[in-house]
A and B are shown apart, each in its own frame.
Chain A
Amino acid sequence: EIVLTQSPGTLSLAPGERATLSCRASQTFSNDFLAWYQQRPGQAPRLLFYAASKRATGVPDSFSASGSGTDFTLTISRLEPEDFAVYYCQQYGNSPRTFGQGTKVEVK
C-alpha cells in the first residue's frame, strides 16, 4: 500500500497570504495519478485537482497543483476566507487507493 505523507500538518496563515502544501508518496505510482481535495467542516471532500495538475470544474485560478514521481504540491496563491479548510492528497495509480492524513489551513 502506498503511504502519502502530507506536510505541514497545520498551516497558520492570514487571508491574502500564499499557502504551499506538500504530499510525498512512499513510492512512485502509475501515471502520476494524484488528486487533491478540499474538505470544509461537516462537508464531504471536494475534488480540486486530478492527474497531479488538472484543475477540476469550478476550482478558482488561485489554486494550482504540480509534481511528479513521489513529490507533489498544492499552492493557493492568495487565501480567501473560504479557503481555510483541510486539504487531502489521494493516489489512484495503485490499489488500494490511499489518502494522505491531511493539511489543515487555519487562520493566523
Chain B
Amino acid sequence: QVQLQESGPRLVRPSETLSLTCNVSDDVLSPSYWSWLRQPAGKGPEWIGRIYVGGTTNYNPSLKGRATLSLDTSKKRFSLQIRSVTAADTAVYYCAKDSSSGYWPHWGQGTPVTVSS
C-alpha cells in the first residue's frame, strides 16, 4: 500500500510563501492524481488542488490563484506552494493519492503549518 510523507517548514511568516513536499513510497509515481488538502483546527478538511503524473493541475478556486502544485517523478515526490500567506492559511496540511473517482483512500500523516510573525 502506498505511503505518503509530508515535509516542510512548520512556521511561515505572513506574506511569504508556504512550501511543502510529499514523498511517496511507490516504486514510481503511478498514473494517478495526487492531491494536497488542509484542515484548520476544529474544521473539516479542504481540498487545495491536484496534479496528474503527466503534469495537469486543478485547483480549488478558494485559494484565489495562490497555490501551485508540481511534481518530480524521478524523485517520487510532489510539492505545494502557497504564496502571500496569512493567518487563515494556518492548518494541518495533508498530501493524498486520489482514487480514480475522486475520493482519498491514501493520506499522509499530515504536517502542521502556522503562519505567524
Contacts and interface: CB of A to CB of B under 8 A. Distances in A.
A pairs with B: yes
Contacts of A97: 47, 102
The secondary structure that dominates the B interface is loop
Interface string B43-76: 1111100000000001011100000000000000
A46 to B, nearest CB: 8
Interface residues of B, number: 20
Contacts of B15: none
A17 to B, nearest CB: 24
A76 interface: no
B101 A96 contact: no
Given A50-B103, A51-B101, A101-B44, A44 B110 contact: yes
B103 A99 contact: no
Contacts, number: 51
A90 B61 CA distance: 17
Given A44-B94, A45-B107, A99 B44 contact: yes
A96 B99 contact: no
Interface residues of A, number: 23
B109 interface: yes
A28 interface: no
A107 to B, nearest CB: 19
Given A51-B101, A92-B101, A97-B102, A44 B108 contact: yes
Nearest to B61: A96
A35 to B, nearest CB: 4
Contacts of B102: 33, 92-93, 97
B44 A47 contact: no
Interface in B3-58: 43-47, 58
Contact of A50 (B43, B61, B101, B109): B101
A8 B99 CA distance: 29
Contacts of B44: 88, 99-102
* 6 A-B pairs closest in CB distance: A92-B102, A44-B107, A99-B44, A35-B103, A96-B60, A47-B105
